[in-house]
Structure 1
Amino acid sequence: MGGIHMPIVDAILLGAVLYFGGLFTRTVMKDES
Protein backbone atom coordinates (compact mmCIF):
# COMPACT_ATOMS: atom_id res chain seq x y z
CA MET A 1 0.00 0.00 0.00
CA GLY A 2 3.01 2.27 0.47
CA GLY A 3 1.35 4.24 3.27
CA ILE A 4 -1.26 5.70 0.93
CA HIS A 5 -4.37 6.51 2.94
CA MET A 6 -7.81 6.38 1.30
CA PRO A 7 -10.43 7.91 3.63
CA ILE A 8 -13.25 7.00 1.25
CA VAL A 9 -12.38 3.30 1.45
CA ASP A 10 -12.00 3.55 5.24
CA ALA A 11 -15.43 5.18 5.49
CA ILE A 12 -17.04 2.44 3.37
CA LEU A 13 -15.41 -0.33 5.40
CA LEU A 14 -16.32 1.33 8.69
CA GLY A 15 -19.91 1.80 7.53
CA ALA A 16 -20.15 -1.84 6.46
CA VAL A 17 -18.75 -3.07 9.78
CA LEU A 18 -21.18 -0.91 11.76
CA TYR A 19 -24.11 -1.92 9.54
CA PHE A 20 -23.52 -5.67 9.66
CA GLY A 21 -22.53 -5.46 13.33
CA GLY A 22 -25.88 -3.82 14.05
CA LEU A 23 -27.77 -6.48 12.10
CA PHE A 24 -25.91 -9.25 13.91
CA THR A 25 -26.53 -7.68 17.31
CA ARG A 26 -30.22 -7.23 16.57
CA THR A 27 -30.54 -10.85 15.39
CA VAL A 28 -28.81 -12.20 18.51
CA MET A 29 -30.94 -10.06 20.81
CA LYS A 30 -34.09 -11.14 18.99
CA ASP A 31 -33.15 -14.82 19.35
CA GLU A 32 -32.43 -14.40 23.07
CA SER A 33 -35.77 -12.69 23.74
Structure 2
Amino acid sequence: LVEEFRISLFAQELGTVRPVSAKRLDTLWQSV
Protein backbone atom coordinates (compact mmCIF):
# COMPACT_ATOMS: atom_id res chain seq x y z
CA LEU A 1 0.00 0.00 0.00
CA VAL A 2 2.86 2.38 0.76
CA GLU A 3 4.44 1.69 -2.62
CA GLU A 4 1.10 2.37 -4.33
CA PHE A 5 0.87 5.66 -2.43
CA ARG A 6 4.31 6.63 -3.73
CA ILE A 7 3.20 5.78 -7.28
CA SER A 8 0.05 7.86 -6.85
CA LEU A 9 2.20 10.83 -5.80
CA PHE A 10 5.12 10.62 -8.21
CA ALA A 11 3.92 8.60 -11.22
CA GLN A 12 0.22 9.36 -11.48
CA GLU A 13 0.03 8.29 -15.12
CA LEU A 14 0.82 4.69 -14.09
CA GLY A 15 -2.17 4.42 -11.80
CA THR A 16 -2.56 2.07 -8.84
CA VAL A 17 -4.30 -1.26 -8.34
CA ARG A 18 -6.54 0.07 -5.57
CA PRO A 19 -7.48 3.56 -4.40
CA VAL A 20 -4.93 4.92 -1.97
CA SER A 21 -4.66 8.18 -0.07
CA ALA A 22 -2.86 9.68 2.90
CA LYS A 23 -6.05 9.35 4.94
CA ARG A 24 -6.34 5.63 4.15
CA LEU A 25 -2.71 5.05 5.09
CA ASP A 26 -3.16 6.99 8.33
CA THR A 27 -6.24 4.98 9.24
CA LEU A 28 -4.47 1.72 8.47
CA TRP A 29 -1.40 2.80 10.45
CA GLN A 30 -3.55 3.70 13.47
CA SER A 31 -5.01 0.18 13.51
CA VAL A 32 -1.56 -1.43 13.79
- TM-score interval for Structure 1 and Structure 2 normalised by the shorter chain: 0.3 to 0.5
Q: TM-score, normalised by structure 1?
A: 0.37
| TM-score for the superposition, normalised by structure 2 | 0.38
| Structure of greater relative contact order (alpha carbons < 8 Å, 6+ residues apart) | 2
